[in-house]
Amino acid sequence: MSAASIVGTADSAGSSSEVRVASRIGSIDLMRGIVMIIMAIDHARDFWDPTPYDPADLSKASAALFLTRWITHFCAPTFMFLAGTSAWLYARNTGATRGQLQRFLISRGLWLVLLEMTVVSFCWRFDFNGLVLQVIWALGWCMALLAVLLFLPRRAIAAFGLLLVFGHNTLDGLHFQDFAAYGAGWGWLWAGLHEFHIAQFGASGYTVALGYPLVPWVGVMALGYCFGELLELPPEQRDLWMRRLGLAAIALFLLLRLSNLYGESQLWHENPRGALYTALGVLNVTKYPPSLLYLLMTLGPMLLLLPWLERQRGAWVRPVSVFGRVPFFFYLLHLPLLHLSAWIAAKMVYGVGAYPSFLTPSLPAGYEPSLLRLYVAWALAILILYPLCRWYAGYKSRHKDYWWLSYV
């Protein structure tokens, strides 16, 4: 998210080609704003509406709960892809050399990793007895890895991205235990690359949750970087290519999903709960790590939506774009807001010690999930954070000479 926000530092002045590229900033900010708002639904669910089962478990979850979880799948791929695009735009519109862009990506990437291991992880748990390493962790490392990839020609970067995105599911048969047999370090290295893993250590139960393995996320960011070149085409040609790519991704998703040929470990099958849940099963794909079908399902519609967003001028555009202009600022605020408010509400209703911490499945006696409660909490959080994000976006715009603002 912070990675994507580097677009906001680009200078729109310059040649006619530069102006065409800079004109895409509005649609990218709008897209980021939409997915930031959608992302908050998932985190409101984590804190305000936890369930004793996976909301994607179609043997137990209602259709409404499943779709509440499913719509948020679009967020992480959009963040990663547009972070790469933003790196392209930053270099293109500021005239940064390869070395300058590499230093930019490495410094901000490592900063994100540090924040994930400290501030963000604490906001998830409200204690220091564990690490929750998720999307900010992956964004940071992927930015640093993209800096290394910049030594390659652009076509080689694109080929690398395609190889990771389309080929990584061939590694699904390898697991943490296979590598841990050679030493715990090898197991964790594999988990960091390609497998969701949670483990506890010591008597205190110190928990490390590696939620976002880097493969194929770095491939998604590499493809987003190469996508930046597409933005330099004339508008009609550019939009045509985005529509073609989006439709091709969706068509390939449907072909592979309905045939169970490749790209997903959770095979599609008939659901005994009926036709509705069988149909929803088509959408029920793997996020940790993101399968090929997960990425096709999410990035395809995103590419289709970008040309439409570019033409939007309604009253809703400006407030939604505000969140897209300062996505990391929003991220840093929304987690403690949702967590603290849910903690206070649970204490008032269920008493001291009743509220479950993040990643703890225990729920207090008498608790009942409520999607209405979830959406009310989400809407209130958005309303509370909007004026703060609008103020910060204006502050950044007025103080572009403050270098440290680009880190938040």
**CB of 282 closer than 8 Å to CB of 258:** yes
What pLDDT, in 10s, does the model give residues 309-322? 988 888 999 999 99
What pLDDT, in 10s, does the model give residues 46-55? 999 999 899 9
**Cα 349 from chain centroid?**
33
Across the strands, what pairs with 374? Answer: none
Phi, psi of 289 (to 5 degrees): -75, 165
Long-range contacts (CB closer than 8 Å, 24 or more residues apart) made by 149-153: 149/218, 149/222, 149/225, 150/98, 150/101, 150/102, 150/105, 151/98
Provide the domain count of the chain.
Answer: 1
What pLDDT, in 10s, does the model give residues 85-105? 999 998 988 899 999 999 999
Write the CB contacts of 264 (distance below 8 Å, at least 6 apart in sequence). 169, 256, 257, 285, 286, 291, 292, 293, 294
Parallel, antiparallel, or unpaired: how do β-strands 197-201 and 206-210 relate?
antiparallel
Phi, psi of 393 (to 5 degrees): -60, -40
Q: Which residue range is the domain that position 100 belongs to?
A: 4-407
Handedness of CA 122, 125, 129, 131 (dihedral sign): negative
- Helices 98-115 + 75-94 axis angle, to 10: 150
Q: Which of 97-111, 234-248, 254-268, 358-372 has the lowest mean pLDDT?
A: 358-372
